[in-house]
Each structure stands twice: as C-alpha cells, then as structure tokens.
Homo-oligomer: A and B are copies of this chain.
Amino acid sequence: MSRFLNVIPVADAVAEVIRISPSPVTETIPLESSVGRILAAEVTADSDIPGFDRSVVDGFAVRAADTAGAGDAIPALLHCTGRIAMGRQDTTGIFAPGTCTYIPTGGILPEGADAVVMVEYAEEAGDMVLVKRPVSYGENVLLYDEDFKKGECVFSSGRRISAQDAGVLAACGCAAVTVAKKPVVGIISTGNELIPVTGVPGPGQVRDANASMLAAYLTEYGCTPRIYGIIPDERQAFEAVLARAVPECDVVLLSGGSSKDDRDMTAAVIATMGEVLVHGIAIAPGKPTIIGRISDKPVFGLPGHPASAFVVLIAIVRPLIDRMLGVPHPIQRTEKATLSINIPSQRGRDEFVRVTLKNGTATPLFGKSGLLNTLVRSNGLIRIPAGAEGLEQGSTVEVILW
C-alpha cells in the first residue's frame, strides 16, 4: 500500500457518508422515557385544548360589560351567586347580568360569563362583590381550543423532545411516542500499544481512551454504543471481530490504533470484507480516516489519538448519525464568540482548533496536538475552512462546545 493517502475534501467525505447512510428506523416508546429522543412522526392534537373556556386565575366570573368603568372610587357592584367547583360544569343555569361567581384557576367559565376578575381586584361584602377594575372580553380566560385545535400539528418529525415538549405531549394524550430508534454503534479498539483502562501501562503502552470517549459521546448523542474491546494488530483478529460486530450494529467504528501499519491493516480488512470508499480526508487533525462499508453497514477507521478521533467523530461520523436519527440540524451545542488572536492555517484542509471560551472570547489552545490535557482545558472546537489561510483576531467564530 502507498505511504501517502488519497485525500478528499471534507464535503466529499460527508456526501459519501450520507450516500451510504442506512434509512432511519423508528420505534414507539412510553412518553416517560422519551426526553431527548427524536420524534419520527408528526404529532397532532387529539382533541381541542382546552376543551372548555377555562379561567387562568382565581377570581370571579363576570360579564365583562358589567365591569365597564369600574375603579377604586366607584367599584362595580355584582351579586355573587356562589362558587364553581373544579372539574365540574356549572349547572345553575344562565348567568344573569349583574351577577358573578367565584371561580378557581382552571375552572369552567359558566355559560353567559365572558371574563374573570382576579381576586386581587375584587372585595367581598356579604352576598355582593365590589369589582375595582374593568375586564375586557375574554380577559383571564383561555378560550375553547385557543391552545391547540383538534387535528392541528403540534410537533413536526425530527424534533428532539425537550422537557416542555414532554408536558405538551402529555396534554395531547401521547402516552406513547414514535421516535427514531437509537443507532447501535460498535466500537472496536485496535493497536498493539493499547491496554484496557484497568491495566497499568508498561513501556510504550497507553490505556484505551478512545473507546470510553466515543461511547460517552454516542450515548449523549442518542445512540447505543457497543464496546468490543481491544483487538491486536492481527488480520485474523480484525476479521473475527468485524464478522461479529457488523451484523450486531448499525455502524462500526474502528479506533485506537495510531500507527500506519494499524491503519493499513484496517483498510485491507475492510476492503476484503466489503469496500473502502475513502482513505484520507483533508482534515486536521484526522487525515488518515477510513470510510468503508461491509454488508451495507458503514464502517469507519478513526485516527488513534482521542483529540483527532473526536474531530472526525464530529465532522464526519455525526452527519451519518444525524441522518439515521432524522434530525434536520446537528444536535451539537454551538456558541458564537470573538477570536482573541490570529490563527494561521494551511489552505486545502479543514482545520479544527481547540479553544477556551470566556465571556464571549475564544482563545486557541496551542501546543502539541497529541496532548490530552488540552481536551480538559478547552471548551470546544472552532473550524478553519479549507479555503482560508487562517482566521483573524476579532473575527466571529462558531465554537462547537464540548
């Protein structure tokens, strides 16, 4: 195999990833476990909400016209006919002009009443109520179907269910929701230098950091990671684990081996079992990335260093996950910031630089790319596009937050 890679632009790599993306799969789950999941179907209101004219305050149901001109000096004087109980229809007949009824928040407005005076602006005096402020038609009342009309679209497909959404889904009667199934992503660690987290590194050995990092990211992003452990740099071992992982997963990530031998082995095995589509992307860090496919399942060879693997995960793998989840935009948090200093960059490749973010200012963390401590000290990444020679001090950048 050649010592040099046939590097393609990031946009072409992403297009390739989208081309081989498996179709989204859906499942129906209980509402109570749906927060953070992605709606896979439109949700409509199953009934009119509210299904009745509803008081939104504690007060007195009135005819608005009866309160016209009321004030502290000359209050409107209304005859109080009683109290409305929660969750019950008032059956005392038509609401007569000049009368009022105590109504709790959430109570059904009696027929004939058209507004509610808050208790704060009313004073009880025996059977009478003194109203000290006028109310207008519909004031302090949520009218029938004012919130949602039956059949109206409440949520579109592709929306990530927030806590508030869960409340609104409950209001709409969605005890079960149809969401995108969590993609199962296999994680295979490769490289003779790797030892498990529980091991004590001997000479030349490092602990497998990538598997934990990738699994954690995928968990937060709505996938189910499946860790296959560390595989030695032997062709048979590679083939055996891939033969097991490919049928069990929707996507497979090979990661951890940082040497060229390891990458060549990865590419050779993918080529034998399926096809290598991309080997080398114009991205820094992360150039030696492999994109392939075995039995119609996308298989990625990620670079060995965690910081590099993370950049490829965000820039190349995430668009695949987004597609499988059916989200129109990445779920990743970003924040606009001002760049504190110039960052030179090499044309012809997308470069990702770790930055710290403070009070709206992004400061690049220079230093050796192989350091883990810059992952801990930084808050996120900024991208310098392939066409730029760098970014200027004072320019606005978008920080992809950790």
Chain B positions within 8 Å of A207 at CB level: 170-173
Report Cα–Cα, A191/B209, bound state, in Å: 51
Q: Are B155 and A376 in contact (CB under 8 A)?
A: yes
Report Cα–Cα, A106/B227, bound state, in Å: 22
Report Cα–Cα, A365/B256, bound state, in Å: 49
Interface size class on chain A is 35 or more
- Protomer copies: 2
Interface residue? A157 (CB, 8 A): no
What residue in chain B is nearest A215 (Cβ atoms)? Answer: B32
Interface residue? A69 (CB, 8 A): no
Report Cα–Cα, A167/B88, bound state, in Å: 58
Q: Are A86 and B167 in contact (CB under 8 A)?
A: no
Chain B positions within 8 Å of A142 at CB level: 368, 370-371
Q: Are B105 and A260 in contact (CB under 8 A)?
A: yes
Interface residue? A239 (CB, 8 A): no
Interface residue? A268 (CB, 8 A): no
What residue in chain B is nearest A36 (Cβ atoms)? Answer: B220
Q: Are B208 and A170 in contact (CB under 8 A)?
A: yes
Contacts A89-B204, A216-B161, A371-B142; is A259 near B167 (CB within 8 Å)?
A: no
Report Cα–Cα, A203/B187, bound state, in Å: 54
Q: Are B169 and A372 in contact (CB under 8 A)?
A: no
Q: Which of A192-200, A275-283, A294-302, A387-395 contacts B (4 or more CB under 8 A)?
A: A192-200
CB distance from A54 to the nearest CB of B (A): 7
Interface residue? A61 (CB, 8 A): no
Interface residue? A154 (CB, 8 A): yes
CB distance from A194 to the nearest CB of B (A): 8
Chain B positions within 8 Å of A197 at CB level: 31, 170, 173-175
The 8 closest A-B pairs by CB, nearest first: A167-B213, A104-B259, A163-B217, A166-B216, A35-B216, A87-B193, A170-B212, A56-B370
Q: Give 28 CB contacts A-B under 8 Å.
A: A32-B227, A35-B219, A35-B220, A49-B372, A52-B203, A52-B204, A54-B370, A58-B260, A85-B192, A86-B191, A86-B193, A87-B191, A87-B193, A87-B205, A105-B258, A105-B259, A106-B304, A108-B203, A147-B373, A161-B216, A163-B213, A164-B402, A165-B375, A166-B212, A167-B216, A173-B197, A173-B198, A173-B200
Q: A166-B216, A171-B372 are in contact. List 18 more A-B contacts (CB 8 A).
A: A49-B206, A51-B203, A51-B205, A105-B258, A106-B259, A107-B259, A147-B372, A162-B216, A163-B216, A163-B310, A164-B376, A166-B213, A167-B306, A167-B310, A170-B197, A170-B208, A171-B209, A172-B207
